[in-house]
Amino acid sequence: MKKQRVARPEKNTSSKEQRAARQDVTEEAQQPIEEGQDHNNVAAGQGADEERWRQDIDTLRRAAARLARRRTNIKRAVPGTSADDSFHRIAESLDDSSPEARSAIVRVLYDLDPDRAASFFNLVLREGSPEDRRQLGAALADSGLVDEAIQGVMGESHENSYGAFSLLFLVAKAGEFQPLMQVIENHPSIELRVAVIRLLASSGEPEIAPTFRRLAMGNSLPAEVRLAAKEAINQIDGRKRDTATSAA
């Protein structure tokens, strides 16, 4: 690396000017160091966000694992082609049905095979149009399954809590956030409530921001929950600004 040469001041230069020249050189040498420190600070902040996100995921996984261990048996898929044929035939009718019929179809699919129904609905949410996602979210909310899922999460019997949480997050992906809001506002575990807020914020859905603002202003909620809601708002607003800057 080449050494930086400093021009010697002329003999007739005043001592004050000499000191100013040396200060300019020192500031130029420090600038790359400060820029490197800023870059390291940004990287450290991103790493902290990723670590906190992993911790939130672990919190939900631990809660689900504890609840799942209370199950006496693991439900196995019933062999045979008749059930498979029935599921496929009923799923195909979902597209051409009325809102009332869609709610009933969603219920029947879950009764036939909850795991397969969840996989099928995830596929619709991932590959379907916005209208498909909206219709599915409304059907899930109106089917009665969401109310049962909330009761399963909030109640003392935790036999099906893992499936209940899966259903609630599936509904949130479809744009129906209110069921999870009930969990955030009323669940006895503050840690779990905060984890749900952070996971919803990381989903990238801007429509949830007004709900978080209401939570942040709710004096009846624990301070930890209100703080998590404020952080979620900042995260969503920051994502909006980044998107607007990129599009400009």
Alpha-carbon distance of 213 to 138, in angstroms, equals 24
Output the pLDDT for position 225: 93
Helix residue spans in 69-160 (DSSP H):
81-92, 99-112, 114-127, 130-142, 145-154
Show pLDDT as tens, one digit a residue, over the chain (248 residues): 444 444 444 444 455 555 555 555 455 545 555 555 555 555 556 677 777 777 777 776 666 665 555 444 333 333 333 556 677 777 777 776 788 888 888 888 888 888 888 888 888 888 878 888 888 888 888 888 888 877 777 765 555 567 777 787 788 778 778 788 888 888 888 888 888 888 788 776 777 888 899 989 988 899 999 999 999 999 888 887 777 777 66
CA 106/CA 109 separation, integer angstroms: 5
User: How many other C-beta atoms lie within 10 A of the C-beta of residue 221?
Assistant: 19
Q: CB count, 10 Å around CB of 38?
A: 10
- The confidence score (pLDDT) of residue 80 equals 38
Q: Which pLDDT does position 66 carry in this prediction?
A: 58
Helix (H) and strand (E) counts in the chain: 11, 0
What are the C-alpha distances in Å from 165 to residues 61, 67, 87? 10, 11, 23
Closest Cα to residue 137, out of 184, 178, 187? 178
Q: At what angle do helices 99-112 and 145-154 cross, to 10 degrees?
A: 50
**How many angstroms from the chain centroid is the CA of residue 3?**
50
Residue 31 has a pLDDT of 54
* Domains (range + CATH), the chain: 59-176 (no CATH), 177-241 (1.25.10)
